[in-house]
Structure 1
Amino acid sequence: MQVRNSSSRYGAVSIFMHWGVALTVFSLFGLGLWMVGLDYYDPWRKAGPDLHKSIGLVLLAVMLLRVLWRFVSPPPPALASYGPLTRLGAKLGHLALYLGLFAVMIAGYLISTADGVGIPVFGLFEVPALVSNLPDQADLAGVIHLWLAWGVVVFAGLHALAALKHHFIDHDATLMRMLGRKA
Structure 2
Amino acid sequence: MERYTKTAMLLHWLVAILVIAAFFLGLTMVDIKGFTPTKLKYYSWHKWMGVTVLLLAAVRVLWRGANKPPPHPASLPRWQARAADLMHAALYVFIFAVPLSGYLYTTAANVPVVYLGLWQIPALFEGTPELKALFKSVHYWLTMAMAAAVVAHVGAALKHQFIDRDGVLKRMLP
TM-score, normalised with respect to structure 2: 0.93
Question: For 2:114, what is the secondary structure of its paired residue?
Answer: strand
Tell me what 1:68 maps to: 62
> Which whole-Å CA distance do the structure 2 matches of 1:133 and 1:36 have between them?
20
Is structure 2 residue 132 aligned with structure 1 residue 99? Answer: no
Flag the 1:68–1:172 CA change in 2: closer, same or farther, 3 A.
Answer: same
Q: Does 1:29 align with 2:23?
A: yes
Mapped pair 1:50 → 2:44: yes
CA contact (8 A) 1:25 1:153 kept: no
Please identify which structure carries the higher helix content: 2
Matched, 1:81 2:75: yes
Match of 2:166 among 156, 172, 176: 172
- State how far apart, in whole Å, the 2-side matches of 1:173 and 1:132 are: 50
Aligned length: 174
How big is the shift at 1:133? 3.2
2:125 is aligned, of 124, 128, 131, to: 131
Question: Which residue number corresponds to residue 112 of structure 1?
Answer: 106
1:142 aligned onto 2:101: no
The residue identity in structure 2 corresponding to 1:144 is V
Partner amino acid, structure 1, of 2:67: S
Q: What's 2:6 paired with?
A: 12
How far apart, CA to CA, are the structure 1 residues paired with 2:109 and 2:143?
22
The CA distance in 1 between the partners of 2:90 and 2:128, in whole Å, is: 27
TM-aligned CA deviation for residue 117 of structure 1: 5.3
Q: How far apart, CA to CA, are the structure 2 residues paired with 1:157 and 1:121?
A: 28
Query: How large is the Cα RMSD of the aligned pairs?
Result: 1.7
Deviations 1:100-153 (A, max 9, x none): 222111110111111555410012211111134367111111111112111111
Cα deviation for residue 42 of structure 1 reads 2.8
Classify the secondary structure of the residue corresponding to 1:113.
helix
Structure 1 residue 167 displacement after superposition = 1.4
Q: Which range is displaced more, 33-42 or 15-24?
A: 33-42
SS at match of 2:108: coil
Larger deviation: 92-101 or 110-119? 110-119
| Contact 2:102/2:135 (8 A) holds in 1 | yes
Cα 1:128/1:117, change in 2 over 3 Å: farther
SS in 2 for 1:120: strand
The one-letter code sitting in structure 2 at the alignment partner of 1:103 is: A
In 2, Cα distance between equivalents of 1:159 and 1:55: 21
